[in-house]
Amino acid sequence: MVEPRFIPLTTWREYSPEAMQKRAEDFHLELVRRRTVRTFSDRPVPRGIIESCLRAAGTAPSGANQQPWHFVAIGDPAVKARIREAAEREEQEFYRGRAPDEWLEALAHLGTDEHKPYLETAPWLIAVFAQRYGTKPSGERRSHYYVTESVGLATGFLIAAVHRAGLASLTHTPSPMGFLNDVLERPSSEKPFLLLVVGYPAEGSEVPDITKKPLEEIATFLE
């Protein structure tokens, strides 16, 4: 059994209640501007920006600090084309028969269909994988805990980082996504979690006329 090792907390900063309120509201207003887009420009995005966003994602909390995620950033046009071809094949089956009518009805107001040109147009795709288990130095399998929760947290950090950098994103989850393991040559221990499409929105981009639930519908205070 490994003995726990602790170091002094030196990174936390205290602010006055007034400063905290402003920082919280400023962050809220920053995220209110974030919108998912489905029309991307092919304008290049420097790799360094994507690297910094991924570093931010990697700071997310995780069960037992196992950090059970792996990100594959794809800028290669040939690989993006293969991903689009495979994703559209799955999406065609989804929209034309596999999806229940209730699910299609829920998607209708977003105007989505099986055509995914942004998978090639956007300069970057980031495939997020959940590592179902790891490997000990001895080569034995090491169980990972709270994998879905941990990878979800890291993905949220990533989306916020991409927005903070000044880029747009789209979460894409074709079902099933096993083709990503094949195209990206990832091991069977990793399960595709989602594809994050990243880049600049195309000129004249439009987004669905939707709103978010108000605070009283998403939160309960017990004081």
Regions of the chain short of the pLDDT cut 50: none
Angle, alpha carbons 159-43-32 (nearest 5°): 30
Report phi then psi at 195, rounded to 5.
-110, 130
What's the half-sphere exposure (Cβ side, CA atoms, 13 Å) at 115? 3
pTM: 0.93
pLDDT at 94: 80
Query: Which tokens sit at 200?
Result: 């600049």
pLDDT at 130: 98
State the maximum Cα–Cα separation within the chain, in Å, rounded to a whole number: 58
pLDDT at 1: 76
pLDDT at 33: 97
